[in-house]
Structure 1
Amino acid sequence: MNEVLMQRLSWVNYRNRVLNDQAVVLLPCGALEQHGPHLPLGTDALLSTAVATDVARQLGGIVAPAFNYGYKSQPKCGGGQHFCGTTSVDGNNLSQMTRDVVREFSRHGVRRLALIDGHYENQWFLTEGIELAMRDLSLNGTRTPALRVVRLEYWDFCTGPTLAKVFPDGFPGYALEHAAVMETSMMLHYHADLVSLDDIPDEAPADFPDYDSYPTRTSWVPLSGVLSSARGASAQKGAWLADEVSSRIAAALKAEFNDA
């Protein structure tokens, strides 16, 4: 089987895969952010990399090293910036890094690029970076870039039936799933050695108002940083989620890049 991790390829092998095989390059995007007392700070990058690797194996693709720093953690979906260990970048910096990296992949000859996002707060800054890079590559609108780019959040590829299996008592919504059943189950599937089941907090779900407030109201956020309980997480649920997400992303990229 072809190696899928870009950092493990020589530049010659990478060039051949990109130019001769027109391999899809997948760029995982995560964050360094608290995920409660039971999951590691690098959960977002670890999961987006694991999903990207599963997808790459199905497509014959290449997984680039992940973006390990993401946009600032928000209280209502990530707990917020006040937790020790959460280490974030300004939105413009993330956009400009994305812009640079997309242009570099284009310079390599990559024609099919997919950003696999695992940190909710990243999405619009990744989009901005992609759009700026595509504008740069279009030579002020005089031609269409050869590079095609897809940006996605992996959780959007979960279907209702799978969510019903994972959440038999009802799905609380993606925002409250920070460090909860989905991420904990997927970490148990991919990186069980990094999960501390005994440290899962047993708290009620966070109850946020329908607005944001500045300076941040840290009192809104549970002290653990977990927005809803991870009790009920399991490796089996993680396997259901991982298998569905990776297969559906692979199918979507095949369809999108079919004529690229």
Structure 2
Amino acid sequence: MTATPRRRTGCRLADLTWPEAADLIGDGLPILLPVGAAAKAHGPHLPLGTDRLVAEAVAERLLAQLPLLIAPTIGAGYYPAFVDYPGSQHVGAATFQALVTELAESYLRHGAERIVILNNGVSTAAPLQLAAHDILHRHGIRIVIANLPALGHSCDGLWEAEPGGHADEKETSLLLAIAPALVRLGRLADTVPPAAEEEDAAPLHLRRPVRLTPEERPGGSLSRSGATGDATRATAQKGEKLLAAIIADIVADLRRLWPDL
């Protein structure tokens, strides 16, 4: 009689004892490492911890579908565009890269062979890619990176306002779905930039570093609100659809990479 395979169940690493963690890592469960700013300006209407909240919400929903071990979130990161806004925190690219590399290597030492970085950031993407290359060359392990801002394109038709990229309709919809009590609804209109703050209608094809500032200063891109988009069209329903699309993208790709999940 053939034994029925045991269904593996994931969990949060921080909830385990070390012997329990050793058993599950030894079973080959992938480590999911969320990266999301614990303190970064998101306009006058969203909390500083928006990136962390979204990354952890996505991690929890992935846990409901896949046998993963959710590592503690990395809340400190490379966020140079927001250093002028009170409460925002930022570390240099090399420091951030080293932090992620050493944390990932600690899981490899404990026997992990599959690591997924769940990145809820834009400026963090390049240092994370470098960290992944370092780990590949040192250990022969290919780290998987899921960049949340680049996922969920099946929902592109939902958005009514021009995409802003930060604390806009899209990101505000996510927060309304995840933590509506933390959204300052009375400040949504403050995210619409005055005409004087709007970028030139013909954007450059060349890339330049961006540093947003709440008041005019040399080299800065003025954004008095700390947002770069119109959040007034955001809804929880749009956020739920975007979350579902992001989860579907990640689940499909991870099952293609690792059919045993």
Report the TM-score, using the length of structure 1 for normalisation. Answer: 0.84
Q: Residue 156 of structure 2 aligns with which residue?
A: 163
Report how far residue 2 of structure 1 moved: 4.5
**1:128-139 map, 5 Å:** 128-137=130-139
SS in 1 for 2:65: helix
Structure 2: unaligned runs, 5 residues or longer: 1-7, 212-216
**1:43-192 map, 5 Å:** 43-74=50-81, 80-137=82-139, 145=140, 147-160=141-154, 162-165=155-158, 167-168=159-160, 171-172=162-163, 176-192=164-180
Measured in 1, the distance between the counterparts of 2:32 and 2:64 equals 11
Measured in 2, the distance between the counterparts of 1:97 and 1:26 equals 16
Report how far residue 232 of structure 1 moved: 1.0
Q: Residue 244 of structure 1 aligns with which residue?
A: 245
> Are residues 123 and 61 of structure 1, via their aligned partners in 2, closer, same or farther at CA, if it must alter by over 3 Å?
same
Paired residue for 2:33, among 16, 27, 33?
Answer: 27
Measured in 2, the distance between the counterparts of 1:124 and 1:216 equals 25
Structure 1: unaligned runs, 5 residues or longer: 75-79, 138-144
- The alignment yields a C-alpha RMSD, in angstroms, of 2.3
Q: Which moved more, 1:41-50 or 1:238-247?
A: 41-50
**1:197-216 map, 5 Å:** 197-200=185-188, 201-204=190-193, 206-207=198-199, 210=204, 212=208
Contact in 2 for aligned 1:24/1:59 (Cα 8 Å) = no
Contact in 2 for aligned 1:26/1:61 (Cα 8 Å) = yes
Report how far residue 241 of structure 1 moved: 0.3
Return the letter of the residue paired with 2:114. Answer: R
Larger Rg: 2
Measured in 2, the distance between the counterparts of 1:62 and 1:187 equals 24
> Are residues 221 and 19 of structure 1, via their aligned partners in 2, closer, same or farther at CA, if it must alter by over 3 Å?
same
Report how far residue 135 of structure 1 moved: 2.1
| Displaced runs of 4 or more, over 6 A | none
Identical-residue share of aligned pairs (%): 25
Report the TM-score, using the length of structure 2 for normalisation. Answer: 0.84
Deviations 1:85-112 (A, max 9, x none): 1110000001111110111111111121
Q: Residue 4 of structure 1 aligns with which residue?
A: 11
Measured in 2, the distance between the counterparts of 1:110 and 1:216 equals 47
Measured in 2, the distance between the counterparts of 1:11 and 1:216 equals 51
